[in-house]
Amino acid sequence: MDGVDYLDYYNDEHYLLDKVGPRFRKTGNLEPSDFLMILVWKANRAVGHHIKRLQERGECSFNEAVSRIAQSLHSCTRPKEKLQLLITKWWFALPTATAILTILYPEEFTVYDVIVCEELKHKYRPQLYASDSPWEEYEAYQAKVLSTAPSELSLRDKDRWLTGHHYYEWLKKKELELGCASGA
């Protein structure tokens, strides 16, 4: 074998949260393949779009763009700065920016997600730019996540809990519609 643990590539969220994030927080370095994996984890369908945009925005290769993003994020001291950097400089939409930040800073960020917005009855506004106050939108969203999910859970697990609750309720509704609920 070549020293690669292929299980890491099967369970991408585990790999990203348990290995990539801690390594980044310690060193400030982010491998292009790991950044690509974050983008795949968030929305595989948009990866090509992100790569092209990063190359254009940075006027450089994808690898150089990732290096610049990592250096800039690592030098930011406040969560608001981190989010603004990804949205303003690199033109990430709020869902992707928060997915990146969730992996790199899971104690500070959770993914701004359409399903969780539905669960929270929070209007989903993914295309917010610097002039639209994305930080204020994200703060309001995060406050709802924190206050709605069980308090003993980590921020990441609150997001998972809300997503799980949404799917559970959806499945229960489908069971009723299909007449396959227990005791039906």
Which has more confidence, 117 or 184?
A: 117
* Domain membership flag for residue 184: no
Ramachandran region, residue 27 (left: φ > 0; alpha: ψ -120 to 50; beta: rest): alpha
For the segment 92-121, the average pLDDT, to the nearest whole number, is: 96
| Stated length of the chain | 184
| Lowest-confidence pick of 9-18, 34-43, 75-84, 172-181 | 172-181
Q: Distance between CA 56 and CA 18 in Å, rounded?
A: 31
pLDDT in tens, 159-174: 999 999 999 999 999 9
Domain that holds residue 118: 7-178
Q: What is the pLDDT of residue 6?
A: 82
* Domain membership flag for residue 173: yes
Reported confidence tier of residue 184, pLDDT bands at 50, 70, 90:
very low
pLDDT in tens, 135-155: 999 999 999 999 999 999 999
Closest CA to 86 of 60, 104, 107: 104
* Domain membership flag for residue 2: no
Average pLDDT of the chain to the nearest whole number: 92
User: What whole-number percentage of the chain has pLDDT above 90?
Assistant: 78
Reported confidence tier of residue 179, pLDDT bands at 50, 70, 90:
confident
Contacts 24+ apart (CB under 8 A), 125-132: 125/94, 126/93, 126/94, 126/95, 127/93, 127/94, 128/87, 128/93, 128/94, 129/87, 129/88, 130/84, 130/87, 130/88
Closest CA to 141 of 168, 115, 107, 165: 115
For the segment 6-34, the average pLDDT, to the nearest whole number, is: 93
Our count of domains for the chain comes to 1
* Domain membership flag for residue 85: yes
User: Is 183's pLDDT higher than 80?
Assistant: no
* Domain membership flag for residue 1: no
Which has more confidence, 176 or 81?
A: 81
